[in-house]
Amino acid sequence: MNKILKSLLLMPLLALSVGASAAQYTEGEHYTKVSEKVSNKKEVREYFSVYCPACKNFEPVMHGLKKSLPSGVPFKRNHVDFLRGASPKIQQMLTKAIVAAGQLGNEDKLIGALFNYLQVQKAVITSEKDIRNIFVLNGADGDKFDKLMKSFGVISQANSMKKSQETMSAKRALTGVPSVFVNGKYRINANKLDRKNFDKDYQNLVKYLLELDS
């Protein structure tokens, strides 16, 4: 009986909490609806480029967001190839490498190494060998990297990233990076979030959007 009473007492508090979140975040201000349909499964997808300085600065926020997501909700990193830092061919090669990084283990470290190589060391990537050397210096298995870069799975995932990029660009939903989308339907408007508590506000908004169409 006591358990039932406690549950009944908690219900108004839960309703108040949900209502407060709904009131806190506003469509058109904190987020933008870019599609009428949601993805088949819940997801959070970041479009980014290792040639983008803002993306590099955003890395700690994304690492925190990834850790904060509810169980079963994947954080997907979608590398793009439309920046001016290198040719589309090199950028597409990097997209493949980033897919491979996810299978080599320690994905965050390997992507961080690419950011560092391009933006801190101011070095230039001209071939797959350059990427391989960066990964090996950061603990990756070179032979496994070679096999992954030629594998159907990696090539297929890289092509899927390209298609996702083109779809969002065609909708004029993806106009720059970094951009974060929730369930393929909502784009985060980061410039409208609380600067004093940015990371937590970002995480709370993403969680709110994940449940918006449930």
Q: What is the DSSP string of 119-133?
A: IIS-----SHHHHHH
Residues in the chain: 214
Phi first, then psi, for residue 46 (nearest 5°) are -105, 125
Tell me the CATH architecture of domain 25-210: 3-Layer(aba) Sandwich (3.40)
DSSP string, 60-90: HHHHHHHHHSPTT--EEEEE----TTS-HHH
For residue 145, give Cα distances in angstroms to 20, 67, 84: 48, 26, 26
3 state SS of 46: strand
Domain boundaries, the chain: 25-210
Percent of the chain with pLDDT over 70: 89
d(CA 163, CA 159): 6
Strands ordered across the beta sheet of 179-182: 31-33, 186-188, 179-182, 44-48, 75-79
pLDDT tens string 129-180 = 999 999 999 999 999 999 999 999 999 999 999 999 999 999 999 999 999 9
2 band by pLDDT with thresholds 50, 70 and 90: very low
The alpha carbon of residue 114 and the mean position of all alpha carbons in its chain are separated, in whole angstroms, by 16
